[in-house]
Amino acid sequence: MGENVDFRRWDELIPDALGLIFKNLPLQEILTVVPGVCKLWRKAVTGPYCWQDIDIEQWSQQCRPETLDRMLQMLITRSSGSLRKLCVTGLANDQSFSLIADNAKSLQTLRLPRSEISDSIVEQVAGRLFSVTFLDVSYCRNIRAPALEAIGKNCKLLMGLRRTMHPLEVIDKLSQDDEAFAIATTMPKLKQLEVAYLLISTEAVLKILENCPELELLDVRGCWNVKLDENCIKKFTRLKVVGPHVVDYFGMKGCDDCSNYSGSSGYLAWDFVAGNVGSDYDDEISDGDWEDDQSMEDVEMRFYDGFDLDNAAFDWPLSP
């Protein structure tokens, strides 16, 4: 390399640039390792650029509800209103959902599978979710047609909805056609709809197809009462239907994030007929066996209980 090559020192990068770099690290390292390096790095990870996209879906599957609430409070606060994507599993109460809605002015992708949110809280705060384009409320047992109707009326940009259920969670229901009709009457811009294992009828699905002319993917796997013949489907030239026969493993996550939707080519990589469906789990950050409670305590002590970088001896040479 020539002698005139100019290396930029790490400690000369602005916090915004560092934040864009650090957000590619595993969650545990961002919260517990990076802040201990120097004051500049601590400033970067406590700023919003690391937290525009928050994906703690895997981590939240293994933590206690109170720990999850504290983590969400901390990360959403750091996003400073710039939150664009939030993926979390198992919200235990309406308060956490209200917190998300209060900070959703830039939110486009919201995934909340297996959450215990209610119709009433969704109806109360749906108006704050106006920028959401993709929503996942799969396996949310406590919401029904009123919540979906509120979402449709307020989320005018919504292009993707995932509302799949586990067969055992709907075994005591006679019909969920009211949910399908709520979708049909309030979500005309949908391009992707996944309602696998909902107890819906052919009539309800036809109503969705009639009222959602831009629909390109309809997942009705496990919706055994739905009978769609080829002549009916041919009328919708851009539509790809999956199901009701189940040809792949249960629980696949489907196409993700309609906020980056790029047209009809978005589904070409999917071989539905052969049942070859890719999962985006491989692309998610895995934090291994991070013990949630102990680590959460460490994180809070580090950031809230006097982790004093002003007096710490971290004046190492940071350039190459």
Q: What is the pLDDT of residues 32-70, one digit of tens each?
A: 888 888 888 888 888 788 888 999 998 898 889 999 999
CA distance 71 to 91: 12
Q: Tell me the mean pLDDT in the region 110-135.
A: 96
Which pLDDT band holds residue 318 (cuts at 50, 70, 90)? Answer: very low
Whether 316 has a pLDDT exceeding 80, the answer reads no
Give the pLDDT score at 287: 41
Q: Tell me the mean pLDDT in the region 171-185.
A: 87
Per CATH, the number for 50-242 is 3.80.10.10
| HSE (side-chain half, CA atoms, 13 Å) at 271 | 4
Give the pLDDT score at 253: 46
Which pLDDT band holds residue 317 (cuts at 50, 70, 90)? Answer: very low
CA distance 299 to 224: 48
Strand partners of residue 53: 85
Give the pLDDT score at 71: 92
Is-contact 131 154, C-beta < 8 A?
A: no
Strand partners of residue 86: 54, 110
Give the pLDDT score at 175: 81
Q: Tell me the mean pLDDT in the region 259-274.
A: 31
Helices (H), ranges, the chain: 15-22, 27-32, 39-46, 57-60, 65-79, 94-102, 119-125, 145-154, 177-186, 202-211, 230-234, 292-304
Express as a percent the part of the chain with pLDDT over 90.
Answer: 42
Q: Tell me the mean pLDDT in the region 294-305.
A: 46
Q: For residue range 212-240, what is the model confidence (pLDDT) as tens digits?
A: 999 999 999 988 888 888 777 778 878 89
CA distance 124 to 102: 11
Among 22-26, 71-75, 76-80, which stretch is predicted with the lowest mean pLDDT? Answer: 22-26
Give the pLDDT score at 238: 85
Among 29-43, 129-143, 267-281, which stretch is predicted with the lowest mean pLDDT? Answer: 267-281
Domain extents for the chain? 8-49, 50-242
Burial of 135 (0-12, 13-18, 19+ CB in 10 A): buried
Is-contact 254 230, C-beta < 8 A?
A: no
